Amino acid sequence: MPRALIAVPADNTTRLLALLRLALTAEGDAVMPVPGSEGARKIGVVPRRVAVVIETSGSTGAPKRVMLSTDALLAGAAASNVALGGPGQWLLALPGHYIAGVQVLVRSIAAQTTPLVLPPGGFDPAAFLRLADRLSEPLRFTSLVPVQLDRLMQAAAEDRHSLAVLRRFTAILVGGQAVPAELLRRADERGLRVVRSYGSSETAGGCVYDGVSIGDTSARVVDGQLEIAGAVLAEGYLGDPKLTAERFAVEHGVRWYRTGDLGAVDPETGLVQVFGRADNVIISGGEKVSLDAVERIVRTLPGLAEAVVLGADDAQWGQVPVVVLAAAPDGPPRPAELAEIRAAAASLLGKAARPARVVAVAAIPVLASGKPDRQALLRLLASAQ
């Protein structure tokens, strides 16, 4: 028997938390958190097992509605509790309509603790630190994207009390995108316990912490792409059985989710490495080039930690990598900087990976999750040519 699906405004966290609590039982309707603050409304029905639907609309690709069961959500919360040292109190600093935000609320429900919630709108480090200072449970957690962590460390750079507040977190989950090594190094130097989280809406949020699969999650690589199995897997995509069949498959009685991410799993330790999206690859001069791999290298260079690498058409090579960054106060990058970038990329990935040029834009547009909005950047890149 199906159950009703209710669209719930994510900005009203109190209402969302109450309806989410009911959705995790057999008593309530399924919920789909949506941006904004308008009233809840019925938008359809879902299979009885489904408790939450997450609408994804990343920087690339078409939106999908991911159906998650109560079992998957609670399995993710339980695995997180074990990996982090036990249940605790959470500070919600991410949008409530993203899986990472929903999981903060689910973990709070499972732990029977009251989450503190950052007001909607732009991320305010000062407001975050004030809330963090009010966390009262022995174990304290939050979930961030890299740019939020970076801004918090900047705010705490010359403020001992703010740094002490950050150090009181039992763990700070950071995910949603690759975490720059330099950011992790600075966090470690300041005594912060940062845990790199990898997962997606289809895995009920983070299911790999610092390269280690948590709970009963398993990871493998097939044709270069990571696949995930375990209790955290989604039921599939609402209204899209074809895509569900393409991304979820049963093999020898085990259900696997094909993530679309390039990666590797160490055969001895089981450590998971993520290299980037399989669909974020270009062909340059007949060679495959992972733009994510180029971007990781570029971001290790001085002053380029926030740079984004895109693919652009090229008359000679077909496609080439292009580095996009926010314009410096003193103008666009000098040619010598491009030479350094090209040399760094070529030394690790080969000549085809050398960026053709550096383009400065007024600001890097971002999604609500904090990820760069690559579609918007592609439009800016096209207008700059």
Could you tell me the residue ranges of all domains in the chain?
3-273, 280-384
pLDDT at 59: 46
What distance in Å separates the CA atoms of residue 305 and residue 190, rounded to the nearest whole number? 19
How far apart, in whole angstroms, are the C-alpha atoms of residue 310 and residue 340?
Answer: 18
Residue 35 CB coordination number (10 Å): 15
Give the pLDDT score at 303: 81
Q: What is the pLDDT of residue 317?
A: 87
Span 308-329, average pLDDT: 86
d(CA 332, CA 338): 11
- Is residue 91 very low, low, confident or very high in pLDDT (cuts 50, 70, 90)? very high
The amino acid sitting at 6 is I
CA quadruple 325, 327, 332, 337: dihedral sign: negative
Distance of CA 48 to the CA centre of its chain: 28
**Mean pLDDT calculated for residue range 211-225:** 96
Q: Which of 72, 50, 71, 54 is closest to 63 using CA atoms?
A: 54
What average pLDDT does range 40-57 have in this prediction? Answer: 91
Tokens of 96: 């409530």
CATH 3.30.230.10 assigned to domain 280-384? The reply is no
Once rounded to an integer, what is the mean pLDDT over residues 289-302?
89
Taking 80 as the threshold, does the pLDDT of residue 70 lie above it?
yes
Q: Regarding predicted confidence, which is higher, 355 or 57?
A: 355
The string of pLDDT tens digits covering residues 98-107 is 999 999 999 9
Mean pLDDT computed over 170-176: 94
pLDDT of residue 232: 98
| CA nearest to 358, candidates 331, 183, 316, 315 | 331
In degrees and rounded to multiples of 5, residue 296 shows phi and psi of: -60, -40
Tell me if domain 3-273 and domain 280-384 are identical in fold: no
What is the model's pLDDT at position 62?
Answer: 66
Pairing state between β 171-174 and 140-144: parallel
* pLDDT confidence of residue 333: 59
- Using one digit for the tens of pLDDT, what is the confidence trace for 325-377? 887 666 655 655 888 999 999 998 999 999 999 988 888 887 766 678 888 88
CATH classification code of 3-273: 3.40.50.12780
